[in-house]
């Protein structure tokens, strides 16, 4: 297969775009497309400060690399989750993230959950009996809380995450299977800022996971290849595999599924947003907005963890 | 023979087929991996030669 731009041997073939490119032209094409999507969805400008949440995985490191190449003012945030039994997943992902930042002279903020909140994620999950044996819901809640806190405290206008199209399509698939209207309404390349909440953006939301893996490989980005041990066998992984089976038979199916959803949502297919949007009030403890009366979910989680710890020690 | 390696698993196929056919033979979805040979990315239509070692990189992350 030949590169469409120069005719030399292609390194990447994107069947959904009927486009094959060589290494050189692929590494040019990706940032051009990211910039196009940033502008199309009005994600941010070159004047704004961006905080990119980095996990040490291929997508978030690729996003940081691309935004830095495009000349944006972008710093990184790594959240140490303390998932270190067996494979030492968190320690290794932090090492790779730090190495990435050091080699490119980029600024990295690190928040260690255990140091700041007393316990690592797996222990917090056990103490609070949340998540049916998997700490994923506690992990997600904690990451959202910390990301927003750091963005707000350090004056970043925007919080960027490395979600790719496969992530978005899998979430969409799960929410559609269960007709979760409220979640469907919230799924978007941009969640605008509101009092107490930073703007959230997903600049890679139109790229296949495979394209990001190819980008990371061709750029020589060293990332954590092993899965989070708690993600193995997850619903998200299963949905991604199903969607890839569909994609194999019908190239472009994942992209169409996601883009047509965005169009339908924009066109008001699901519900009028004002009617189901909850009123947000500041949490009396941390100040972050919450739809619950009293403490936000994260602070309630912390109280529950502290209570259980006290009971165990008594 | 041609060797394909994905994580801790190894597969062997006969030379002469293309990568896509080799992946199908091993029960691997081509959408779920990228394939490398001698440090270079190769595409589905690449004909595999005797002695080739194809390293597959799984692309799905489940977080």
Please report, in tens digits, the pLDDT of each residue of chain B (63 residues total). 999 999 999 999 999 999 999 999 999 999 999 999 999 999 999 999 999 999 999 999 865
CA distances for A201 relative to A94, A159, A163, A204, A307, angstroms: 23, 6, 9, 9, 36
Q: Is the Cβ pair A213, B59 closer than 8 Å?
A: yes
CA distances from A76 to A42, A152, B22 (A): 21, 14, 40
**Chain A residues near residue B57 by CB distance under 8 angstroms:** 213, 217, 225
Tell me the nearest-neighbour CA distance from A3 into chain B, angstroms. Answer: 12
With residue A151 as reference, give the H or E element that holds it: helix A136-153
Q: Does B1 touch chain A (CB under 8 A)?
A: no
Dihedral of alpha carbons A267, A208, A36, A45, sign: positive
Distance CA A270, CA A184 (A): 8
Task: Please report the pLDDT score of residue A277 as a whole number.
Answer: 57
Closest partner CB to B43 (pick from A13, A236, A244)? A13
Tell me the β-bridge partners of A16: none
Per-residue pLDDT of chain A (314 residues; tens, 9 = 90+): 999 999 999 999 999 999 999 999 999 999 999 999 999 999 999 999 999 999 999 999 999 999 999 999 999 999 999 999 777 999 999 999 999 999 999 999 999 999 999 999 999 998 888 876 789 889 999 999 999 999 999 999 999 999 999 999 999 999 999 999 888 988 999 999 999 999 999 999 999 999 999 999 999 999 999 888 888 888 999 999 999 999 999 999 999 999 999 999 888 887 665 555 568 899 999 999 998 889 999 999 999 998 888 777 77
User: Using the beta-carbon criterion (under 8 Å), do A1 and B45 form an inter-chain contact?
Assistant: yes
Q: Is there a contact between B35 and B54 (Cβ–Cβ < 8 Å)?
A: yes
Nearest chain A residue (CA) to B46: A1
* End-to-end Cα distance, chain A: 69
CA–CA gap between residue A50 and residue A71 (Å, rounded)? 11
* Residues of A with Cβ-Cβ distance to B33 under 8 angstroms: 210
In this predicted structure, what is the pLDDT of residue A273?
55
Regarding pTM above 0.90, the answer is: yes
Token code pair at residue B10 = 């190894």
B39 shares contact with chain A (CB less than 8 Å): no
Is A218 part of the contact surface with chain B (CB cutoff 8 Å)?
Answer: yes
Q: Which of A248, A306, A189, A210 is nearest to B57 (CA)?
A: A210
Decide if B15 contacts B37 (C-beta within 8 A): no
Nearest CA in chain B to A247: B31
Interface test with B, best of A14, A162, A210, A235 (most B CBs within 10 A): A210
């Amino acid at each position: 297969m030949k590169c469409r731009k120069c005719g030399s041997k292609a390194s990447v073939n994107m069947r959904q775009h009927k486009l094959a490119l060589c290494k050189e032209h692929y590494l040019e094409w990706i940032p051009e497309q990211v910039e196009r999507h940033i502008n199309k969805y009005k994600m941010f400008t070159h004047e704004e400060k961006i905080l990119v949440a980095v996990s040490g995985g291929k997508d978030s490191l690729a996003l940081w690399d691309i935004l830095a190449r495009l000349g944006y003012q972008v710093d990184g945030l790594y959240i140490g989750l303390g998932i270190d039994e067996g494979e030492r997943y968190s320690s290794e992902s932090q090492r790779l993230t730090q190495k990435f930042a050091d080699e490119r002279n980029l600024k990295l903020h690190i928040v260690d959950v255990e140091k700041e909140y007393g316990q690592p994620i797996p222990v917090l999950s056990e103490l609070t009996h949340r998540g049916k044996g998997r700490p994923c819901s506690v992990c997600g809640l904690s990451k959202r809380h910390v990301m927003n806190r750091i963005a707000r405290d350090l004056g970043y206008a925007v919080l960027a995450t490395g979600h790719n199209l496969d992530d978005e399509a899998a979430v969409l698939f799960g929410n559609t299977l269960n007709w979760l209207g409220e979640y469907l309404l919230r799924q978007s390349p941009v969640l605008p800022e509101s009092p107490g909440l930073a703007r959230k953006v997903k600049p890679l939301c139109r790229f296949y996971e495979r394209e990001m893996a190819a980008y990371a490989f061709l750029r020589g980005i060293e990332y954590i290849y092993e899965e989070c041990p708690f993600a193995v066998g997850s619903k998200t992984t299963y949905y991604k595999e199903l969607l890839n089976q569909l994609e194999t038979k019908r190239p472009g199916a994942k992209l169409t599924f996601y883009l047509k959803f965005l169009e339908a949502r924009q066109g008001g297919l699901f519900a009028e947003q004002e009617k189901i949007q909850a009123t947000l009030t500041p949490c009396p403890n941390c100040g972050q907005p919450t739809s619950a009366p009293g403490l936000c979910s994260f602070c309630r989680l912390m109280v529950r963890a502290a209570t259980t710890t006290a009971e165990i020690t008594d | 023979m041609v060797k394909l390696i994905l994580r801790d698993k190894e597969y062997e196929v006969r030379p002469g087929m293309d990568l896509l056919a080799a992946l199908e033979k091993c029960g691997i979805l081509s959408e779920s991996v990228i394939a490398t040979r001698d440090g270079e990315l190769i595409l589905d239509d690449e004909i595999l030669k005797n002695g080739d070692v194809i390293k597959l990189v799984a692309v799905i992350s489940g977080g």
